[in-house]
Chains A and B, each alone.
Chain A
Amino acid sequence: MDQGFFLLFAAASVVAALTLVLARNPVHSALALMACFLQVSAIFVLLEAPLLAVIQIFVYVGAIMVLFLFVIMMIDVREAVLQRFLPGSNLPVLVLLVLLGVEMLVLVLRSDRFSVAEPVATSTGGEVRQLSTTLFADYLLPFEVASVILLAALIGAIVLARKEPR
């Protein structure tokens, strides 16, 4: 049952990711990315991380993708549609990508550390409570740093996108 669902979501996410890379129109790429994020959030539900699944949908699908679509609407993308890939020979890049993928797959499949079939211990109930206790007690400083980074990014984006006074 679980395996069937996992295969379904994984296949859908891989197809959506391929559509993202291969689509001609950036709007189609954005919609494919949205579909991929939805599948990944379903996989988070399979991993018993419902909070992360909801955050994924809120932040990625709700905020980041809308930001992308706004920018696509603001900028005229029609001239960029004509040529999908970088001009010139892409063979070295393809060789590099195949090497990267094969290396990671060999390392994962040949090691016995990744063959855990069952979770070591299943904790039941109160997961979000424990998670937030860990986040706000042990990881308080990184949390604050992340909020400062978000504030800096907000101000930086406003400054960058403003028209320069001439």
Chain B
Amino acid sequence: MVPLWWYIVLGVVLFVIGAAGVLLRRNILVVLMSLELLLNSVNINFIAFGHYYDDFRGQIFAIFVIAITAAEVAVALGILVALARNKSTLKVDEVTIMKG
């Protein structure tokens, strides 16, 4: 049987890699994909704890996380298409419209 902390460590590693992608990459598309990776590593934690403590709420919260992620991706890609049409750039450091 796999000990619980193996799953937690896997979640930690995936979270750090995803955070590195969010903070370091220049392409907005890759930043969005790294955000997906972050949410997925949290899902691993939810389901692992739910399994080891025999509680269905872990899986239910994971389902909600997946639903909210789908909504977030739809809105983010809509913003991205509008951005690419109006400013024709995909670099995070060149999108400074809201800078005061």
Binding site for B on A (CB under 8 A): 2-3, 6, 10, 13-14, 17-18, 20-21, 26, 29-30, 33, 36-37, 40, 43-44, 46-49, 51-52, 55-56, 59-60, 63-64, 67-68, 71-72, 74-75, 77, 79-80, 83-87, 90, 93, 96-97, 100-101, 104-105, 108-109, 114-123, 130-131, 134-135, 139, 142, 146-147, 149-150, 152-154, 156-161, 163
Contacts and interface: CB of A to CB of B under 8 A. Distances in A.
Interface of B: 1-10, 12-21, 23-27, 29-30, 32-34, 36-37, 40, 43-44, 47-48, 50-54, 56-57, 59-60, 62-64, 66-75, 77-82, 84-85, 90-93
A126 B39 CA distance: 28
A147 B77 CA distance: 19
A115 B37 CA distance: 25
Nearest to B69: A64
13 contacts: A3-B6, A21-B25, A30-B29, A79-B90, A115-B4, A115-B5, A117-B4, A119-B51, A120-B53, A131-B56, A147-B67, A153-B70, A153-B74
Given A43-B10, A120-B52, A153 B29 contact: no
A86 B36 CA distance: 20
B29 A77 contact: yes
Contacts of B37: 17, 20, 33, 36
Contacts of A49: 47, 50-51, 59, 62
A17 B24 contact: no
B7 to A, nearest CB: 7
A150 B71 contact: yes
A18 B60 CA distance: 29
A98 to B, nearest CB: 8
Given A20-B33, A21-B34, A43-B10, A118 B1 contact: yes
Where chain A touches its partner, the secondary structure class is helix
Top 8 A-B residue pairs of the complex, sorted by shortest distance between their CB atoms:
A160-B78, A153-B71, A157-B78, A21-B21, A101-B16, A114-B5, A157-B74, A17-B17
A79 B20 CA distance: 22
A86 B92 contact: yes
Given A36-B37, A122-B54, A153-B72, A74 B48 contact: no
